[in-house]
């Protein structure tokens, strides 16, 4: 079982989008049994208000026919580091924040998602840009590149 945790700042826009895009990709390839997939935040404010998936992410997933379930924001915990095989961040600041919570990445589990792509870069935060479309296509590119990296 390969355990994957997608992480962003708030866990309501990018990381749940990546969670469900990646879930659909592995399902389409008949690989569901090999994966456990979840997402988390580096900040705790959305967890405190029990926030669900942002409207913009929901609408984007619906328009691209990506199935999703309810997901409530939760902050990444130090114990997640031992549990997950891959902790996939959306941008550089997520990587720094994850490390400050879980400690030194001794097992090389923490990666920026688009580091697997041909053009490594951050995935911009649609909470600020309002551009969920751009986020979606960056996430598709990153998830696809990550799957290729796994060579399954």
Burial class of residue 115 (count of CB atoms within 10 Å of its CB; 0-12, 13-18, 19+): middle
Contact 135, 10 (CB under 8 A): no
Among 12, 40, 53, 143, binds ligand 4NP (CB under 6 A): 12
Which stretches of 30-151 are assigned E, i.e. beta strand? 35-41, 86-89, 110-112
- Establish whether 121 is a catalytic residue: no
DSSP 3-state of 101: helix
- Quote the tokens at residue 124: 């911009």
**Among this protein's residues, is 29 annotated catalytic?**
no
Which C-beta is closer to ligand 4NP: that of 5 or that of 8?
8
Please give the torsion angle defined by the CA atoms of residues 136, 138, 143 and 145, in that order, rounded to the nearest 10 degrees.
150
Q: Is 14 in the site for ligand 4NP (CB under 6 A)?
A: yes
Q: Is 72 exposed, middle or buried (0-12, 13-18, 19+ CB in 10 A)?
A: middle
Site for ligand 4NP in 75-134 (CB under 6 A): 125, 127
Q: Which of 38, 91, 125, 138 is catalytic?
A: 125
**Minimum gap (Å) between residue 83 Cβ and ligand 4NP:** 21
Residue 11 binds ligand 4NP (CB under 6 A)? yes
- Interaction mask 25-54, ligand 4NP, x per CB under 6 A: --------------------xx--------
- For residue 62, the minimal CB distance to ligand 4NP (Å) is 18
Asked whether position 10 contacts ligand 4NP by CB under 6 A, the answer is yes
């Amino acid at each position: 079982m390969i355990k994957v945790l997608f992480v962003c700042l708030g866990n309501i826009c990018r990381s749940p989008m990546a969670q469900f895009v990646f879930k659909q990709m592995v399902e389409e390839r008949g690989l569901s049994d090999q994966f456990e997939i979840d997402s988390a935040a580096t900040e705790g404010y959305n967890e405190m208000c029990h926030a669900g998936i942002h409207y913009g992410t929901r609408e984007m997933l619906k328009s691209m026919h990506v199935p999703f379930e309810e997901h409530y924001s939760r902050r990444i915990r130090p114990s997640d580091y031992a549990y997950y095989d891959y902790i996939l961040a959306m941008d550089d600041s997520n990587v720094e924040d994850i490390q400050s919570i879980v400690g030194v990445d001794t097992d090389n589990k923490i990666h920026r998602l688009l580091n697997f792509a041909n053009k490594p870069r951050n995935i911009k935060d649609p909470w600020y840009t309002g551009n969920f479309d751009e986020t979606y296509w960056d996430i598709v590119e990153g998830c696809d590149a990550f799957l290729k990296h796994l060579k399954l």
